[in-house]
Chain A
Amino acid sequence: MRGGPVPILRLGDTLVTGLLNELDDSSALALAEELTDRIVSDRARGVLIDISRVEIIDSFVARALMELSTMAQLLGARVVVAGMRPAVAITLVELGIELKGVETALNAEQGMSALGWRHSSSGLQEPPT
């Protein structure tokens, strides 16, 4: 048996997962391992990591995110980190931490659409011509 406390869901060829408030060494490793395995086994082309629950991101978590996205890219999948809180963004900038190479999106919905998904309820959208 494997895995951290966070489930990894598959939607088409996109994997969806999230981070909880605390991320320690072992769970970061577990997440990286499970995620890379799943990318290969599910032949995923995209990964969405929702971090809207995360209230504090320190250099450790930032590095974990960067590593995850590099690993995924090596396996041919794009990673989008979605839903960062304003306070978290400010802290990161003040600490001088750049999430280099990590794609970001405002929320899960926009992250999914960035990964090539289009939501079916197009009430707000212009219909494609």
Chain B
Amino acid sequence: MSVTESALRERLCEVLVRRGDEIADRWVRQQVERVSLSEGLAQEDLHEEADALVAALRRGMASELPTDRVVASHQELREAVVDMSMRRARAGSSPTATSLSVLALKDVLLEAAQQESLAADDMLAAALLLNRLLDAAGALCFETYVEGREEIIRRQSRQLLEVSTPVVRLWRHVLAVPLVGTLDTARSQVVMETLLEAIQQHEATVAIIDITGVPTVDTSVAQHLMQTVQAVRMMGADCVISGIRPAIAQTIVQLGIDLSDILTRANLADALATAVRLTGEDGTGTVSGPLAAPGAPEVRAAP
């Protein structure tokens, strides 16, 4: 870094040491006045946060790192910014408010620099330097905020996946999966896995997939359903799809989706009746496929 720049940084550092508390205070006031902060943030928290960030900034400026990389590479400063952003994200502030909060520090610092009665040239250089520094901080803040939100979304969708695919035993050898919500690839994977495991565990011969809670059936949903049915059949069980509403039946036909291989019923009650019949009058279960039970050879007694 150039001599003037390093001298400038030293100078600014010195200002931060001397008037750090004052700057932090003014910053908090600026934030409260200008930025519409969420109510989840208490004044004391803001003060604490500001103190930590100003201190970190001072140490970052004092380090040997080039100005452009101070925010990204100075660990303490980076952590302070990330920390602040995460806390705001959790408290529900908007990303704009969070970034503006950081950028408000710029004004405060510039004011402080101005009061140091620097020469006009130095003042310009100081303004540019502070701009670069805090723009980087603002960007980092925004990035962290988005990441934090994404993490929340990921966690929620994982939880949704876990809670939304129960397999229930309806009858002897009959299982049911009530599906609620859209059926995407990840979801159908989970449904398939849990269903097949349950079939093996309960020795079920019929599985009912109830799609009453599925809002729409398009080609991809139908594809997933058919895959699941195929997998169930390969396991040696039969599959009934229930809960097809009139509107869905219309869509399926209009889209030209062929579900003729699959046993479908309008509601769960009908599906259960069918399933119980499929498990067989003799109670020993049936085989899926073209030669299934009705045409089976005569029953013999085991020797």
By a beta-carbon cutoff of 8 Å, the part of chain A in contact with chain B is: 12, 45-46, 78, 80-86, 88-90, 92-94, 98-99, 101-107, 110-111, 113-120, 124-126, 128
Q: Which of B56-64, B142-150, B195-203 makes up part of the contact surface?
A: B195-203
Chain B interfacial residues counted at CB < 8 A: 40
Of the A-B pairs whose beta carbons lie under 8 Å apart in the complex, a sample of 30, sorted by A's number, is: A12-B300, A78-B291, A84-B236, A85-B200, A86-B231, A89-B232, A89-B234, A89-B235, A90-B192, A90-B193, A90-B196, A92-B230, A92-B234, A93-B227, A93-B228, A94-B227, A103-B288, A103-B291, A105-B236, A110-B203, A110-B236, A111-B236, A113-B285, A114-B286, A115-B297, A118-B299, A118-B300, A120-B302, A125-B284, A128-B282
**CB of B169 closer than 8 Å to a CB of A:** no
| B211-242 contact mask (Cβ, 8 Å, vs A): 1 or 0 | 00000000000000001101111111100000
Give residues of chain B (96-141) contacting chain A, Cβ–Cβ below 8 Å. Answer: none
Q: Give Cα A78–Cα B288 distance, bound, in whole angstroms.
A: 13
Q: Does B266 contact A (CB under 8 A)?
A: no
In angstroms, how far is the closest chain A Cβ from the Cβ of B263?
16
Tell me the nearest residue of chain B to A92, going by C-beta.
B234
Contacts of B15 in A (CB 8 A): none
Our pick among B205, B231, B283, B302 for the contact of A90 (Cβ within 8 Å) is: B231
- The answer, yes or no, to whether B40 is at the interface (CB within 8 Å) is no
* Complex-state Cα separation, A128 to B300, whole angstroms: 13
Assembled-state Cα–Cα distance A40/B203 (Å):
33
Looking at the complex, which one of A46, A78, A102, A118 makes contact with B301 (CB distance below 8 Å)?
A: A118
Residue among B193, B199, B284, B289 making CB contact with A113, cutoff 8 Å: B284
A104 in contact with B234 given A86-B200, A116-B300, A118-B302 (CB within 8 Å): yes
Once bound together, how far apart are the Cα atoms of A118 and B200, in whole Å?
A: 20
Verify A114–B231 contact, CB threshold 8 A. Answer: no
Question: Does A89 lie within 8 Å of B289, measured CB to CB?
Answer: no
Contact A84 B287 (CB under 8 A): no
Out of B235, B286, B302, name the residue touching A86 (CB < 8 Å). Answer: B235
Least distance between B268 CB and chain A CB atoms (Å)? 23
Q: Which residues of B contact A46 (CB under 8 A)?
A: 297
List the B residue with the shortest CB-CB distance to A88. B234
Q: Is the CB of B288 within 8 A of A93?
A: no
Give the most central of A85, A93, A117: most B CB within 10 Å. Answer: A93
CB distance from B226 to the nearest CB of A (A): 9
Residues of A within 8 A of B302 (CB): 117-120
Q: Which 5 A-B pairs have the closest CB atoms?
A: A86-B196, A114-B287, A105-B236, A104-B236, A103-B289
What's the minimum C-beta distance from A92 to chain B, rounded to whole angstroms? 6
How far, in whole Å, are A78 and B199 apart by their CA atoms in the complex? 24
12 further A-B pairs in the complex, CB-CB below 8 A; given A12-B300, A88-B234, A105-B236: A89-B196, A93-B192, A93-B231, A106-B199, A106-B237, A106-B285, A110-B284, A110-B285, A116-B296, A117-B300, A120-B301, A125-B283
B30-67 CB mask vs A (1 if < 8 Å, else 0) is 00000000000000000000000000000000000000
Known: A114-B286, A117-B302, A120-B301. A107 touches B234 (CB 8 A): no
Measured CA separation A101–B290 after assembly (Å): 7
Say yes or no: A116 contacts B234, CB within 8 Å.
no
Q: A90-B192, A116-B296 are in contact. Are A106 and B200 (CB under 8 A)?
A: yes
Closest residue of chain A to B289 (Cβ to Cβ) is: A103
CB distance from A6 to the nearest CB of B (A): 20
Given A86-B193, A99-B234, A106-B285, A45-B297 contact (CB < 8 Å): yes
**CB–CB A114/B199 < 8 A:** no
Let me know if B246 is at the binding interface, CB within 8 A.
no
- Bound-state Cα–Cα, A126 to B284, Å: 10
CA–CA, A4 and B282, complex, Å = 36
**Of A82, A84, A111, A116, the contact of B299 (CB 8 Å cutoff):** A116
